[in-house]
Amino acid sequence: MSQTGYKCRLKVILAEEGIKHGEFAKRININPGTLSAIVNNKQLPSFEVTYAICLELNRSIHEIWIKKEPTQSE
């Protein structure tokens, strides 16, 4: 599950839109490895990358990242 405190829905959104990860990384000008880390909840993007993702997908940040509720183990 999320290691960042947020659950990234980018994998689902890109699949729904039929956008390949490599293609999307090029469109927002980031390394495919960086996109992979973001999509797999390993890291949060910088503000600039977050803004580019939201702009490119025409979605709000709330549609892409969901704040996780804390659990006993965290």
Q: pLDDT by residue (tens digit) across 54-66?
A: 999 999 999 999 9
Phi, psi of 8, deg, nearest 5: -85, 125
pTM reported for the whole predicted model: 0.86
Predicted confidence (pLDDT) per residue in 14-55, tens digit: 999 999 999 999 999 999 999 999 999 999 999 999 999 999
**CA–CA dist 65, 29 (Å, integer):** 20
Q: Which CATH architecture has domain 6-67?
A: Orthogonal Bundle (1.10)
Q: What is the CA angle 26-49-54, rounded to 5?
A: 90
**CA–CA dist 13, 21 (Å, integer):** 11
Q: Where are the domains of the chain?
A: 6-67
In this prediction, residue 2 has a pLDDT band, given cuts at 50, 70 and 90, of very low
